[in-house]
Amino acid sequence: MTPEYIGALVALAAGTAFALYMVARRPTAVIYLGDDAEDEVPVFAPVVADSPERAAYVTKLRETARHLVAMNPDGITTDDLHDVCPVPPGIERRIMGTAFPKEDGWVKAGWVQSRRKVNHGRPVMKWVRRTA
């Protein structure tokens, strides 16, 4: 093996390790540099999955989701939750999905286009709640 080939392998391995490290560390907060959502800068902080703040926020999300679907029985999306309950700093934005547990009667009702600029029009799930 030539030194160049070995150097390329080391660089590739280091790059792969760095990429895996960055995937494992998701941003848990965002610093806003301007008025636009595109001016967000992710902040990497340790994720504490069982923190009291996270548990309180999940409870608030679920209560808000039940309230919102009572006002709009056709269904709600995470966009609706973001409008009412923005994610506080230190909590990962993907937490919104925990607002719709199957055990609480939530079922998927199809896909709609996101209203949020930061989502760039990607589809988000619409949820309805079945009551017994």
| Cα dihedral 100, 103, 106, 110 sign | positive
Same domain flag for 64 and 107: yes
Neighbouring residues of 28: CB distance < 8 A, sequence distance ≥ 6: 43, 44, 45, 46, 47, 90, 91, 92
Quick one: average pLDDT of 101-116? 94
Same domain flag for 109 and 80: yes
Q: Which domain holds residue 117?
A: 48-132
Q: Which of 57, 32, 40, 29 is nearest to 120 (CA)?
A: 40
Same domain flag for 52 and 117: yes
pLDDT in tens, 61-85: 999 999 999 999 899 999 999 999 9
Per-residue pLDDT for 41 more than 80? no
Per-residue pLDDT for 131 more than 80? no
Same domain flag for 4 and 17: yes
Q: Which residue has the higher pLDDT, 97 or 45?
A: 97
- Indicate the pLDDT class of residue 51, thresholds 50, 70 and 90: confident
Q: Which residue has the higher pLDDT, 67 or 5?
A: 67
How much is the pLDDT for 125? 95
Same domain flag for 60 and 33: no
Same domain flag for 31 and 58: no
Same domain flag for 55 and 25: no
The answer, as to whether pTM is greater than 0.75, is: no
How much is the pLDDT for 53? 85
Same domain flag for 60 and 98: yes
- Indicate the pLDDT class of residue 92, thresholds 50, 70 and 90: confident
Domains contained in the chain, number: 2
CA distances (Å), origin 80, targets 25, 61, 67: 27, 11, 11
Same domain flag for 89 and 29: no
